[in-house]
């Protein structure tokens, strides 16, 4: 359906609203999500409404990162009020993370949408297996690396995150937990780092997508402004509802359900890539 008529815009807007409610609720329910839930939705919706499949992943990633800004700021402020933010760690973490975002945007500009979808599918598989299989007390070492080692980890997370439209929580939290950092500090660092990834990544997506064909009537670069405007309030309203439901359910069962959901999403992405190749 093309977005060149009033009915097309109404249907597209309603689809975005439903996607915002669903992704916000699921993100709150499972305690993770963000881009992992939004990007597959966008990959389905954008081509369906006339946007070029050749840039679908670029547009999905940029729009997902823009949507992560308001939610990420709220999470980071909450972590700061709770006293979980480690300013010293962030000073050695954020600069390399931002450099990684720039590197990822550079890669994304020169590779195909299909290749980016493949990277995203790999990230989703890792996330799903981690949620299903990793024991909560798994540790690789008693304390995270410092210096070059820490910068290299932040660089890698920033690179992958900006390429596929996630804010890095699914990479940051399990990585730092496995490296010996307490879980509450990991979540706080992930929230603050996610804001940096979202801000730089969304800005870079806008710039790199200016003038690209097939983006749709409401795109600013590789960010669909209408999607951001409609989905942001929907996510902010529905996410707390998901959290309330999650608090009444077994976290172990929720974690396994989310892991299975991620593997199903990854299988569908891989199927689409194989069929399209």
Domain ranges of the chain: 6-276
Contact 26, 33 (CB under 8 A): yes
Contact 205, 66 (CB under 8 A): yes
Q: Tell me, what's the pLDDT at 157? A: 94
Closest CA to 27 of 66, 63, 61, 75: 75
| Element of type H or E holding 219 | strand 219-220
Q: Tell me, what's the pLDDT at 135? A: 73
Count of other CB atoms within 10 angstroms of residue 182 = 12
Q: What is the mean pLDDT of each run of 10 residues along the chain (277 residues)?
A: 71 90 79 77 88 91 91 81 85 95 92 88 84 75 86 94 87 85 83 91 94 87 94 88 76 75 83 73
Count of other CB atoms within 10 angstroms of residue 252 = 9
Closest CA to 136 of 168, 104, 91, 183: 183
For tokens 């996410």, the residue is 239
Closest CA to 117 of 62, 157, 58, 66: 58
Contact 45, 37 (CB under 8 A): no
**Claim: this prediction has a pTM higher than 0.85:** yes
Q: Tell me, what's the pLDDT at 31? A: 62
Q: Tell me, what's the pLDDT at 185? A: 85
Q: Tell me, what's the pLDDT at 2? A: 58
Q: Tell me, what's the pLDDT at 225? A: 95
What residues contact 238, with CB distance under 8 A and at least 6 apart?
20, 21, 22, 24, 25, 28
C-alpha 194/C-alpha 268 separation (Å) is 26
Contact 53, 220 (CB under 8 A): no
Closest CA to 41 of 31, 249, 27, 28: 27
Q: Tell me, what's the pLDDT at 276? A: 65
How many angstroms separate the first and last alpha carbons of the chain? Answer: 24
């Amino acid at each position: 359906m093309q977005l060149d008529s009033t009915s097309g815009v109404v249907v597209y807007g309603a689809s975005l609203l439903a996607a915002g409610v669903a992704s916000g609720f699921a993100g709150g329910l499972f305690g993770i999500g963000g881009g992992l839930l939004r990007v597959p939705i966008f990959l389905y919706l954008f081509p369906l409404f006339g946007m070029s499949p050749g840039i679908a992943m670029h547009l999905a990633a940029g729009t997902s990162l823009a949507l992560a800004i308001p939610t990420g700021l709220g999470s980071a402020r909450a972590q700061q009020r709770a006293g979980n933010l480690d300013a010293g760690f962030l000073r050695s973490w954020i600069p390399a993370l931002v450099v990684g975002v720039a590197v990822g945007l550079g890669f994304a500009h020169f590779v195909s949408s299909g290749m980016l979808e493949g990277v995203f599918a790999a990230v989703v598989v890792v996330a799903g297996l981690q949620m299903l299989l990793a024991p909560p007390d798994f540790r690789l070492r008693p304390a995270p690396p410092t210096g070059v080692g820490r910068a290299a980890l932040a660089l890698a997370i920033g690179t992958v995150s900006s390429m596929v439209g996630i804010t890095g929580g699914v990479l940051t939290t399990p990585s730092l937990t496995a490296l010996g950092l307490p879980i509450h500090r990991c979540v706080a660092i992930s929230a603050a780092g996610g804001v940096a990834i979202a801000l730089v990544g969304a800005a870079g997506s806008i710039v790199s997508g200016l003038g690209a064909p097939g983006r749709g009537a409401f795109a600013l670069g590789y960010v669909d402004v209408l999607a951001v405007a409609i989905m942001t309030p929907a996510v902010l309203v529905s996410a707390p509802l998901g959290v309330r439901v999650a608090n009444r359910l077994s976290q172990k069962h929720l974690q396994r359900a989310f892991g299975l959901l991620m593997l199903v999403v990854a299988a569908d992405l891989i199927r689409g890539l194989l069929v399209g190749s």
